[in-house]
């Protein structure tokens, strides 16, 4: 049976900054550059969630994409959209909101949920700007 990879794109707009509280502004600026601006900045993030599985012989679906969309929104993007990634998001508490860490945290939110839908989570890709993105495969 063929193994097919299915990707859903969702988007969210959020504020964040990169900083360490134990460092002063000067050190934060040296390490994080303009991402350390104390008054925050923000992005239009794009998220691609890829699940894999064998298409159902009746429906032709690896899993129902509307279900995948709903679970991504409920567990992830509704919690991130128009929020502050440092302050407002339960599953990011204590996590430096770099794009790398964001992708790993989103993986953790979704890996079991995708199993419930009948697929297997393959990758999480997060684009912060048109020039910068990360991808995580769960390993």
Residues 6+ apart with CB under 8 A from 75: 109, 110, 113
In the complex with its own copies, the residue whose CB is nearer, 99 or 117, is 99
Size of the site for its own copies (CB under 8 A): 64
Q: Which of 25, 27, 31, 115 binds its own copies (CB under 8 A)?
A: 31
35 is catalytic: yes
Candidate list 30, 41, 82, 112, residue with the active-site label: 82
Distance CA 99, CA 9 (A): 16
139 is catalytic: no
Neighbouring-strand partners of residue 31: none
If one asks whether residue 79 binds its own copies (CB under 8 A), the answer comes out as no
Q: Which of 75, 81, 118, 120 binds its own copies (CB under 8 A)?
A: 81
Candidate list 35, 43, 120, 135, residue with the active-site label: 35
128 is catalytic: yes
| Interface with its own copies in residues 91-120 (CB under 8 A) | 95-101, 103-104
In the complex with its own copies, the residue whose CB is nearer, 48 or 75, is 48
Tell me the DSSP string of the chain.
Answer: ---EEEEEEEEEEEEE----TTS-HHHHHHHHGGGG-TT-EEEEEEEEEEEEEPPPTTT--SS-HHHHHHHHIIIIIHHHTTEETTTS-GGGTT----HHHHHHHHHHHHHHHHHHTTSEEEEEEEEEETTEEEEE---
Residues that bind its own copies (CB under 8 A): 2-11, 13-16, 18, 20, 31-35, 37, 39-44, 50, 55, 58-62, 65-66, 69, 81-84, 87-88, 95-101, 103-104, 129-139
Catalogue the active-site residues.
35, 82, 128
């Amino acid at each position: 049976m063929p193994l097919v990879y299915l990707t859903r794109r969702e988007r969210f707009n959020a504020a964040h900054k990169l900083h360490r509280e134990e460092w002063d502004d000067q050190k934060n600026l040296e390490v994080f550059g303009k991402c350390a601006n104390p008054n925050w900045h923000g992005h239009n993030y794009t998220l691609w969630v890829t699940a894999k599985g064998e298409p159902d012989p009746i429906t032709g679906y690896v899993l129902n994409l509307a279900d995948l969309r709903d679970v991504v929104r409920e567990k992830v993007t509704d919690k991130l959209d128009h929020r502050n990634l440092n302050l407002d998001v339960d599953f990011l508490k204590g996590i430096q909101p770099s794009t790398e860490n964001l992708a790993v945290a989103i993986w953790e939110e979704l890996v079991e949920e995708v199993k419930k839908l009948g697929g297997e989570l393959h990758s999480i890709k997060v684009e912060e700007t048109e020039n910068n993105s990360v991808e995580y495969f769960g390993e």
